[in-house]
Structure 1
């Protein structure tokens, strides 16, 4: 991918279609993160989201997150929380200490909830796993082992596997997009952001795997741009033969916007355009408490699709009435 050195980032049509709605799912006593929405057959909206107790502050995602479920009659709510779907299973399990990054989708009349877990409360045991159900209301059958492991020592993805996004490709195989980085880079770099996050792809003939990594990985690598440019939180979808990916920028242009890219095959991607702007572009907020160090930016972009087309953008941002974090949604005007 050729770096795009424009001083002003190009703006996507997607960004121009966004209409800010506001916060949802503000839960007293919790940080809420990683909200993944889907319609059911009756047109109701189900959200699978990460949450952890407020006393853990922001770092609780890595050593105490659980995945919960909420339902609403419309995308804008109000939402009713039904309870916890997946929680850390404790010593001896690969997801012993956290369950995070939910990504819900439907294949072959079943629901597949891809997620990240870890076993030691740290990043180096982050692995992608899966729970399966016949109904969005469960029960959920959790696989006992991760579905994608890191690469060998020294590989670009030897540190972890995380941030799953899965879709069926044109060739009939299931593509699992994942984020990772190299452990040595992570250990030797200094500064506020260590490691260089890249994206890989793995294919399988079944949505539960086994997945085989694409030989040309990583498929998205911004490191040649310099200044440790990278990305995270990617969501991938396909419509009318065009693959698109929306993610959080981490230095390609800045650290506050979202980016969007297009591809004809889901492997080779065009240069990014702006997908969304910082919080201040849409609403005014009071000054943050000192412990909210990610205040003012939207993270974990996920799309609510209807007949394959995005109708709402779900993000997460710090702040809100409880000074923690909660989802913030946008309506997407028709093209």
Structure 2
């Protein structure tokens, strides 16, 4: 591992032990690995996948959410098949289903995800599917459970990247990412707009969710150079809230960030949650068709008794030269 002596590594980062890639599926890109321990004691994951022929950009217009299971977090995994697929014209999730986030809430399983209706970012919306078992049947929300803000608001473009916290005092905190449409249209690639995080609150799982007046809660735009973040996972550990996200310029675009909070609203300064891929394993030179090579994205945690046991991320490359999951153990 490269020297990290001068980096603000968190205790979380120092506990990571790489276990390796998972779900290197032939003919598929695999992304967004959301893990949970099932009632059977096995590790279940819900993940995004789309055909290799669609290229990396297929996540926005050709993605489905599938289910796999293994006896151990590092696999090997048996893919059980798709659970949420695009529903076609007339539905809010007509063209893609992506960004799964799985939790057990009471006696039900809650699978949050994003869908869109036109294959573009401006119709990305967060929805919810529930089931009595991880094997289904899954019942989807007829409409998105969280909509963008009004024109001109910081979150008027979309709602995406769902992360749920069940508050010990009752109620539900749904964290989400968004950005402003005018910023998105004005700024030039490769990074358009400025991604920020807010939270919406509800007394019931299905909502309605009311956005917190302090939103956006996580906003790095004041640091300059269009610094931002995405892919948050939020959880309570002891009496603290914690958040792990993908860095988009605070340190660089290859690391992860971690923050904590006493109330889930005001967040600490970020530390490094994880490093780039070359800190943990070697891989061949970047194939020409992969332009996000060398970084981990969409961090999700496997939790047991209120504490994380493993970090699941996704990264490009692998045997299929597409993308797959990657697992770390937390010592």
The alignment's TM-score, normalised by the length of structure 2, stands at 0.98
**CA displacement, residues 248-276 of structure 1 (integer Å, 9 cap, x when unaligned):** 00011111100000000011000000000
Q: Per-residue CA shift, 1:118-147, capped at 9, x if unaligned? A: 000000000000000000010100111000
Q: Counterpart of 1:224 in 2: which secondary structure?
A: helix
1:313-334 Cα deviation digits (max 9, x unpaired): 000000000000000100110x
Matched, 1:219 2:198: no
Equivalent in 295, 301, 304 of residue 302 of structure 2: 304
Kindly report which structure 2 residues correspond to 1:253-264, keeping only aligned pairs within 5 A, or say none. Answer: 253-264=251-262
- Once the two structures are superposed, the pairs formed by residues 195-210 of structure 1 within 5 Å of their partners are 195-210=193-208
| Matches for 1:279-290 after TM superposition, within 5 Å | 279-290=277-288
Q: Distance in 1 between matches of 2:194 and 2:74?
A: 35
Matched, 1:33 2:34: no
Which residue does 1:24 correspond to in 2? 22
* Cα offset, 1:171, TM superposition: 3.0
Q: Is 1:50 the equivalent of 2:76?
A: no
Structure 2: distance between partners of 1:145 and 1:321 = 38
Unmatched 5+ stretches in structure 1? 1-7
Matched, 1:157 2:173: no
Q: Which runs of 4+ in 1 moved over 3 A?
A: none
Match of 2:69 in 1: 71
1:326 and 1:50 map into 2 onto residues whose CA distance is 10
Task: Quote how far apart the aligned CAs of 1:9 are.
Answer: 4.3
Structure 1 residues 139-196: Cα deviation after superposition (integer angstroms, max 9, x where no partner): 1001110000000000000000000000112431100000000000000012410000
- 2:250 & 2:76 partners in 1: Cα distance? 36
Deviations 1:295-322 (A, max 9, x none): 0000000000011110000000000000
TM-score normalised per structure 1: 0.96
1:139 matched to 2:137: yes
The answer as to whether partners of 1:89 and 1:96 remain within 8 angstroms in 2 is yes
Residue in 1 that maps onto 2:167: 169
Q: Deviations over 1:93-126 (max 9, x none)?
A: 0000000000000111100000000000000000
Alignment partner, residue 322 of structure 2: 324
1:13 equivalent in structure 2: 11
In 2, the alpha carbon distance for the partners of 1:64 and 1:187 equals: 23
Number of aligned residue pairs: 327
CA RMSD in angstroms, aligned pairs only: 1.0
Of 215, 235, 238, the residue aligned with 1:237 is 235
